[in-house]
A and B are shown apart, each in its own frame.
Chain A
Amino acid sequence: MNSILRIILQRLGLGLLTLFVVSIVIFVAVNLLPGDFAELILGQGATPETVATIRRDLGLDQPLVLRYFDWLRGMLTLDLGTSFSQLNRVSNLGGGSDTTTVVEQIAPRLSNTLFLAAVTASIAVPFSITLGVLAALYRNTAFDRSANIFTLSSISSPEFFMAYVLILFLAVLNPILPSLSNIYQGMPFWERVEKSLLPALTLTLVVTAHMMRMTRAAIINLLASPYIEMARLKGLSPMRVIVKHALPNALAPIINVIALNLAYLITGVVVVEVVFVYPGIGQLFVDSVKIRDIPVVQACCLIFAAAYILLNLTADILSILSNPRLRHPK
């Protein structure tokens, strides 16, 4: 058991290192964006003096390296800073007003995104595993082929296209679901679920293909093994052979793919959130990029990176746990 703990700690350490490297990339990339906050917020009214005032107020005139270490220090204490637009407002007021920090700004949005990810996962994971099992069971039949064609074509279309197709069929032609997912704090749970259903279905269509095909491939791979043949020779039904005997051994790669797709549900929702006006972190991200609100953009990027790294880590650890061979690397 000690070895597992060591592996987990090792992986966590590597994850932190990755995050550090990512933070440098994010910082440099975000600061390379053309245009700056002062000019965008002032628009047509940007005069050299007002631009200079805003840049000075926000510390944008400091050298890049200095700003990076400031940001890094804040990050280590979980202080992601205050968004430019808030700072700008405060300096406008002459101080003394309450401000919301980036953390306070992101927290409700992140929880909305996590909610959407949870709704999607609870639909997509059972759906795609079932579909994968069935496809393995009836492999090379018309069912298998049509399931493949359907999932592959939905993953190959751009998300916004799938979103509009769903809106057309489920909101415009048959008004069953709302096309506007404007959920808010204090909305009753089931109403929230109903409002989130269309974006969740869109995301389901996007992530199903991966999980379903991996399930199918992993199971079919195992079906050639001697112990499966043994089970079959015992006279077990094909369904029982697959679910009871093949599936547990196929779990490692399936879990891997599920974890990767869950990460996608957090980091890849930008387009879907914009189409459905869902107030999640993706939309906050787009809004902030538009006005070059660097602290918010950086924090969002970092959260995306952390979610990705963490879920990958989980996938690694889970597959190590489910496969003892991986615990003893040669």
Chain B
Amino acid sequence: MTRLNRRGLLKTGVAAGVLAATGLPIRAQTRGGKLTAGLSGANTSDSWDSRTHSDLFMIACAQGAVFDSLTEIRADGSLVGELAENWEATPDAKTWTFNLRQGVTFHNGKPFGADDVIASLQMHLGEESKSAAKPIVENIVEMTKMGDHQVQLTLNAGNADLPYLLSDYHILMYPAGQIDEAIANGIGTGLYQVQSFDPGVRMVATRYPDHYKGDDAGFFDEIEYIAINDNTARMNALMTGQVDAVNRIDFKTESLLRANPQLSIQEVTGNQHYIFPMLTNVAPFTDVNVRRALKYGINRQELVDKILLGHGKVGNDSPIGPANQYYNADMEQLEYDPDQAKYWLQQAGMDSLNIDLSASSAAFEGAVDAAQLFQASASAGGININVIQEPADGYWSNVWLKKPFCASYWSGRATEDWMFSTAYEEGVPWNDSQWGSEDSARFQELLIMARAELDSDKRREQYYEMQQILRDDGGVLVPMFANYVQALNNRIATPETVGNLWQMDNARMAERWWAA
């Protein structure tokens, strides 16, 4: 095992202990009080099984309060250890050794150790497993217990992102041998201990005394998360002071929230993006000139203004967003330019282009309207788009990946490699543009190279180049990134930097916010 010249993300890994010990005092944080939040994304089928988590309510309850992962992404996007104290990798980024935090106990008193890590990771494997984290954990070919508080994970191929990937909200640490019990009752190592949990209704938890995170996190004595899926009911609950914070504010009543001096609105741009993917192996999209014409035929700013009502940011046809580490913010922005669109059509040897675009509200809210706006803007460039409104039911199985040009979305991924290898690597099932080495051999080559690259400067160059390739030649139009917009009242205070990986400060408001 060699020790590397660690730079970039490894540096943060080693610094984890130091950071956690000092904390980053921004404003006076006080212990005590209660956080009552009204959150959407709850269902009666919810459980403490992290493999099934997909929406905010359970993510906030599980990873955000009751359970912990090996690593954690801070609000500023840096990576720190949570249950792992630090880690190191071999130069090929294939073998990783994690040193676990000592003296941590689960809420039932069982001490946390290497066995728990291995058992928790194995939960995601198995042929029948439907875990969303299976593609991540599958790459670990060997899990070895090196000591009570040390595990070694060997990958089938080098991946410099492993510590990032382990911060995924599906990969939580459960007590080995008591996993069923932990799933039934919610027994984790998190800052808060479950008092009552009624699926689809509410969750109450109290601060776990003597937690390993000490006084730097988890400031509330008690938290209560109330499931409010209905938009209007959630806004009402906030307006009448029955909850302190809500996620996903309703843009239609936003002005009412803004008029109330007791309330404040938080808005962050993350990686969530709305897209129009085209199948690059189906004519006419096989021709890069046609794709370029479409890139100039879409009015991105108009879509942000009218579909997102300003709560978003124009996209540049790359899925890498501001919440990613190597987001290329300085890349020149594609602008709406009908003349350019005409020019590229001519390059493709066409005077005009007739294409179908399938859309449905299942893709994202307002997708059909967005398609119609696109239709209007593209016609100036000689592109005639025929908008086909598809039924929302079965959209993902009948339209997406099947129709040559449609509307879709991605909630984004924490790392560049994860995003690219989910939707842009040649041959992967969710490659919604059928993007492969025929389109850009360089892109696929860079993807493999960057994955195992531990030097973060080199990686940045590689990822910047990949983003540029997608902007210029890619088969996915990424016209906009949608913001996460949430609101809270003045009984609650938050740090200045709020996480943008997920709603509600990466769903960790119980850990990071405090009673004002």
- Decide: B233 and A50 in contact? CB cutoff 8 A: no
Q: How far is the CB of B357 from chain A (nearest CB, A)?
A: 19
Q: Mark A145-187, 1 if CB is under 8 A from B, else 0.
A: 0000000000000000000100100011001001110101110
- Decide: A43 and B429 in contact? CB cutoff 8 A: no
Q: Which of A85-140 contact B (CB under 8 A)?
A: 85-86, 88-89, 91-94, 96-98, 105
A51 within 8 A of B: yes
Closest to B42 in A: A287
B126 within 8 A of A: yes
- Decide: B394 and A275 in contact? CB cutoff 8 A: no
The verdict on A172 contacting B236 (CB below 8 Å), with A93-B180, A98-B184, A180-B228 known, is: yes
Q: How far is the CA of A182 from the CA of B242 in the complex (A)?
A: 10
Q: Which of B206-264 contact A (CB under 8 A)?
A: 226-230, 232-233, 236-237, 239-243
Residues of A contacting B430 in the complex (Cβ-Cβ under 8 angstroms): 44-45
Kindly specify which of A233-241, A276-284, A308-316 makes contact with the partner chain: A276-284
Closest to A51 in B: B397
Q: How far is the CB of B91 from chain A (nearest CB, A)?
A: 34
User: B43, B183, B226, B397: which contacts A39 (Cβ < 8 A)?
Assistant: B397
- Decide: B240 and A178 in contact? CB cutoff 8 A: yes
- Decide: A291 and B129 in contact? CB cutoff 8 A: no
Residues of B in contact (CB 8 Å), total 46
B128 within 8 A of A: yes
B31 within 8 A of A: no
- Decide: B44 and A92 in contact? CB cutoff 8 A: no
- Decide: B237 and A179 in contact? CB cutoff 8 A: yes
- Decide: A180 and B45 in contact? CB cutoff 8 A: no
Kindly specify which of B194-202, B266-274, B306-314, B453-461 makes contact with the partner chain: B194-202
Residues of A contacting B54 in the complex (Cβ-Cβ under 8 angstroms): 43
B288 within 8 A of A: no
- Decide: A46 and B396 in contact? CB cutoff 8 A: yes
Q: Which of A66-96 contact B (CB under 8 A)?
A: 83, 85-86, 88-89, 91-94, 96
A47 within 8 A of B: yes
Residues of A contacting B394 in the complex (Cβ-Cβ under 8 angstroms): 34-35, 39
Q: Which of A21-74 contact B (CB under 8 A)?
A: 34-35, 39, 42-47, 50-51, 53-54
- Decide: A180 and B243 in contact? CB cutoff 8 A: yes
- Decide: B201 and A275 in contact? CB cutoff 8 A: no
Residues of A contacting B228 in the complex (Cβ-Cβ under 8 angstroms): 180, 277
Q: Label chain B's interface by main secondary structure.
A: loop
Q: Mark A264-275, 1 if CB is under 8 A from B, else 0.
A: 000000000011
Q: How far is the CA of A175 from the CA of B130 in the complex (A)?
A: 47
Q: How far is the CA of A105 from the CA of B201 in the complex (A)?
A: 12
- Decide: B202 and A293 in contact? CB cutoff 8 A: no
Q: How far is the CB of B144 from chain A (nearest CB, A)?
A: 23
Q: Which of A244-302 contact B (CB under 8 A)?
A: 274-277, 279, 283-284, 287-288, 290-291, 293, 296
Q: How far is the CA of A296 from the CA of B126 in the complex (A)?
A: 29
- Decide: A97 and B180 in contact? CB cutoff 8 A: yes
Most buried by A among B51, B201, B226, B240: B201
Residues of A contacting B132 in the complex (Cβ-Cβ under 8 angstroms): 45
Residues of A in contact (CB 8 Å), total 51
B400 within 8 A of A: yes
- Decide: A93 and B49 in contact? CB cutoff 8 A: yes
Q: How far is the CB of A237 from chain B (nearest CB, A)?
A: 47
Most buried by A among B47, B228, B430: B47
Residues of A contacting B239 in the complex (Cβ-Cβ under 8 angstroms): 172
Residues of A contacting B45 in the complex (Cβ-Cβ under 8 angstroms): 83, 85-86, 89, 287, 291, 293
Residues of A contacting B397 in the complex (Cβ-Cβ under 8 angstroms): 39, 46, 51
- Decide: A180 and B43 in contact? CB cutoff 8 A: no
- Decide: A275 and B230 in contact? CB cutoff 8 A: yes
B8 within 8 A of A: no
Most buried by A among B198, B240, B429: B240
- Decide: A43 and B233 in contact? CB cutoff 8 A: no
User: B44, B49, B229: which contacts A105 (Cβ < 8 A)?
Assistant: B44
B330 within 8 A of A: no
- Decide: B232 and A180 in contact? CB cutoff 8 A: no
The verdict on A276 contacting B130 (CB below 8 Å), with A46-B397, A47-B429, A185-B198 known, is: no
Residues of B contacting A284 in the complex (Cβ-Cβ under 8 angstroms): 44, 200
Q: How far is the CA of A274 from the CA of B43 in the complex (A)?
A: 13
- Decide: A184 and B183 in contact? CB cutoff 8 A: no
Q: How far is the CB of A81 from chain B (nearest CB, A)?
A: 14
- Decide: A180 and B429 in contact? CB cutoff 8 A: no
Residues of B contacting A275 in the complex (Cβ-Cβ under 8 angstroms): 230, 232-233
B95 within 8 A of A: no
B393 within 8 A of A: yes
Q: How far is the CB of B102 from chain A (nearest CB, A)?
A: 30
- Decide: A182 and B183 in contact? CB cutoff 8 A: no
B462 within 8 A of A: no
The verdict on A279 contacting B393 (CB below 8 Å), with A94-B126, A288-B44 known, is: no
Closest to B234 in A: A277
- Decide: B391 and A97 in contact? CB cutoff 8 A: no
The verdict on A167 contacting B49 (CB below 8 Å), with A35-B394, A180-B228 known, is: no
B52 within 8 A of A: yes
B131 within 8 A of A: yes
Residues of A contacting B237 in the complex (Cβ-Cβ under 8 angstroms): 179-180, 277
Q: How far is the CB of A164 from chain B (nearest CB, A)?
A: 8
Q: How far is the CB of A61 from chain B (nearest CB, A)?
A: 16
Q: How far is the CA of A291 from the CA of B237 in the complex (A)?
A: 25
Q: How far is the CB of A303 from chain B (nearest CB, A)?
A: 15
Q: How far is the CA of A186 from the CA of B241 in the complex (A)?
A: 23
Closest to A35 in B: B393
Q: How far is the CA of A275 from the CA of B230 in the complex (A)?
A: 7
- Decide: B130 and A184 in contact? CB cutoff 8 A: no
Q: How far is the CB of A187 from chain B (nearest CB, A)?
A: 11
- Decide: B131 and A92 in contact? CB cutoff 8 A: yes
Closest to A54 in B: B130
Q: Mark B359-400, 1 if CB is under 8 A from A, else 0.
A: 000000000000000000000000000000001011011001
What are 14 A-B contacts defined by CB distance under 8 Å? A39-B394, A45-B132, A46-B397, A83-B45, A93-B49, A96-B180, A105-B44, A172-B240, A182-B202, A274-B233, A276-B233, A277-B230, A287-B229, A291-B45
19 other contacts beyond A45-B430, A47-B429, A291-B45, with CB at 8 A cut-off?
A: A42-B396, A44-B430, A54-B130, A89-B47, A89-B49, A91-B128, A92-B51, A93-B180, A97-B183, A97-B184, A171-B236, A172-B236, A180-B233, A180-B237, A185-B198, A277-B230, A277-B237, A287-B43, A291-B43
Residues of A within 8 A of B (CB): 34-35, 39, 42-47, 50-51, 53-54, 83, 85-86, 88-89, 91-94, 96-98, 105, 164, 167, 171-172, 175, 178-180, 182, 184-186, 274-277, 279, 283-284, 287-288, 290-291, 293, 296
Q: Which 9 A-B pairs have the closest CB atoms?
A: A85-B45, A35-B393, A97-B180, A279-B201, A34-B393, A180-B242, A180-B237, A179-B236, A287-B44
Residues of B within 8 A of A (CB): 38, 43-45, 47, 49, 51-52, 54, 126, 128-132, 180, 183-184, 196, 198, 200-202, 226-230, 232-233, 236-237, 239-243, 391, 393-394, 396-397, 400, 408, 429-430
